[in-house]
Amino acid sequence: LRSLVGSEMCIRDRSTSMEQMTITAKVQIVATDADKVLLDETMSVYRDACNYVSDYVFQTHDLKQFSLNKVLYSTLREKFGLKSQMAQSVLKTVIARYRTILENHNKWIRPTFKKPQYDLVWNRDYSLTQNCFSVNTLSGRVKLPYFAEGMSKYFDHTIYRFGTAKLTNKHGKYYLHIPVTYDVEESNISDICNVVGIDRGINFVVATYDSHHKSGFVSGKAIKQKRANYSKLRKKLQMRHTPSSRRRLKAIGQRENRWMQDINHQVSKALVENNPKHTLFVLEDLSGIRNVTERVKTKDRYISVSWSFYDLEQKLIYKAKQNQSSVIKVDPRYTSQCCPACGHTEKSNRNKKIHLFTCKNCGYKSNDDRIGAMNLYRMGINYLSDSQVPDTVATE
């Protein structure tokens, strides 16, 4: 095993290529009381039409838009009063939902559309004109101003392309969730000039080690404490068995989920912004981590099993692409047991209780999460070495 002391690699760019990337811009729109009535009516009818089509698909198992259109189009127009494009969008919405269910569960499960919704096709159901969105409703188009802060950059159509948006109503506020596609420069293996090993955990959300031999830590203490408070409150509510407690449980779950997603956004954003373009981020492949953590003591299981490692991973992947960087996942075995100085691997090297790594062979000591990040960094360096191309520049 290569020692991490003084090892560093920088591979220069020789060619560039582009790839498409899609993110969702959530734009809040401003609606008058009259506009709200039209939007609510349209979303409610659209939802009812989706449930009608869902019943038919569940009975027939027909997911071909051509045949569904032939049978249901007239009914959607006459019974629900949908316009032509709305009727086509209803069919596409239901087909997409069924295909997702079949892909995830491999069996036919009837989806129910509970919340009012409305899928809008760009330049047909909605468009952007003079700082307003023009949105089609059952009673004609309405002009809706929007909050532009942080969103204006996406409206440059020479760079960004809009897709089919979703209109939602959340606590009386209306939002357009718009998929925005644009081209980014693809990061090739020959571009990489920095490697960062990232060890994910609970006491430290992330521990990092990079090509400049610098370590970084994001403490998970405050996060762990707040999630423990959520868990305690959840247990109390579960013991009440009342309709109000069940509503409260649902609200708490959604709030905790939003909070954790925000934490992951902040951590992944900091990782990308604090490293240069063409960085290779190296993560452990935690597929199947739930099966491992379920062997943890019952009292500690909630913290281990419900930790949102995957969400952080996904956010880091797309943010890294935006910065022309890459993410790879490697085998996690022995990353916290292997000495980065001499390569000696032994389970007793790591003391989990005090989070200390002490090599039984050479005596090297460090925080066990930092050791994991160092070993992931080494694996990233080895990955680059195995993928070397001519003109590679390596410095010691």
In this structure, the strands spanning 132-137 and 365-367 are: unpaired
**Which residue has better confidence, 157 or 181?**
181
**Lowest-pLDDT range, 132-141, 296-305, 367-376?**
296-305
* pLDDT tens-digit readout, 79-97: 999 999 999 999 999 999 9
> CB of 60 within 8 A of CB of 71?
no
Compute the distance between CA of residue 179 and CA of residue 20 in angstroms, rounded to an integer: 12
Average pLDDT over residues 27-38: 94
Residue 128's beta-bridge partner residues?
133
* pLDDT tens-digit readout, 305-352: 556 788 999 999 999 998 889 999 999 999 999 999 999 999 999 998
Question: How many angstroms separate the Cα of 107 from the Cα of each of 52, 110, 111, 352?
Answer: 20, 10, 12, 43
* pLDDT tens-digit readout, 174-207: 999 999 999 888 878 888 999 999 999 888 999 9
The sign of the dihedral angle between the CA atoms of 95, 101, 106, 110 is negative
Per-residue pLDDT at 130: 77
* pLDDT tens-digit readout, 354-385: 989 999 999 999 999 999 999 999 999 999 98
Compute the distance between CA of residue 183 and CA of residue 193 in angstroms, rounded to an integer: 22
- Torsion angles phi and psi, residue 8, rounded to 5: -160, 150
Band (1; pLDDT cuts 50, 70, 90): very low
Compute the distance between CA of residue 65 and CA of residue 48 in angstroms, rounded to an integer: 18
Per-residue pLDDT at 5: 36
Share of residues in the chain with pLDDT > 90 (%): 66
One DSSP character per residue, 298-342 reads: HHHHHHHHT--HHHHHHHHHHHHHHTT-EEEEE--TTTTTB-TTT
Compute the distance between CA of residue 52 and CA of residue 69 in angstroms, rounded to an integer: 13
pTM of the model as a whole: 0.77
